[in-house]
């Protein structure tokens, strides 16, 4: 089991950028695929971006393609989400999550794939 801690949230104007970081407490980073989720009040938790255990493959929600980038550093076991061209609709609590699969190239695409969650960090985009 891995423990996750997010940071980097805050208040930003529409069109601005934020970088979220997730630190994972494990010595076997590459066996975990990782993802970033977000949840706004009254809405379901949404998978924003995911990355395979070795960082070879990524997946993005259609709403953030071309604006957000997920990347990881397995030496430090951090997983970041670079968010550019932020919109009011991006306002939510953002969570990082992790899970394990039989292959380190696997990219998760469903909430049920994930086993461990961070505490969340608030991102607020003003318009």
Q: What is the pLDDT of residue 102?
A: 80
Q: What percent of the chain has pLDDT over 90?
A: 89
Q: How confident is the model at residue 44 (pLDDT cuts 50, 70, 90)?
A: very high
pLDDT (tens digit, 9 = 90+) per residue, 76-120? 999 999 999 999 999 999 999 999 978 888 898 888 999 999 999
Contact 98, 106 (CB under 8 A): no
Spatial CA neighbour of 88 closest among 6, 7, 16: 16
């Amino acid at each position: 089991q891995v423990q996750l801690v997010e940071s980097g949230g805050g208040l930003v104007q529409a069109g601005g950028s934020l970088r979220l970081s997730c630190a994972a407490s494990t010595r076997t980073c590459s066996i975990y695929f990782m993802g970033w989720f977000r949840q706004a009040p009254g809405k379901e938790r949404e998978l924003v971006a995911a990355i395979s255990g070795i960082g070879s493959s990524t997946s993005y929600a259609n709403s953030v393609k071309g604006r957000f980038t997920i990347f990881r550093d397995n030496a430090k076991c951090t997983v970041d989400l670079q968010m550019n061209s932020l919109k009011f609709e991006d306002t939510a609590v953002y969570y990082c999550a992790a899970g394990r699969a039989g292959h380190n190239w696997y990219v998760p695409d469903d909430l049920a794939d994930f086993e461990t969650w961070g505490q969340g960090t608030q991102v607020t985009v003003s318009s």
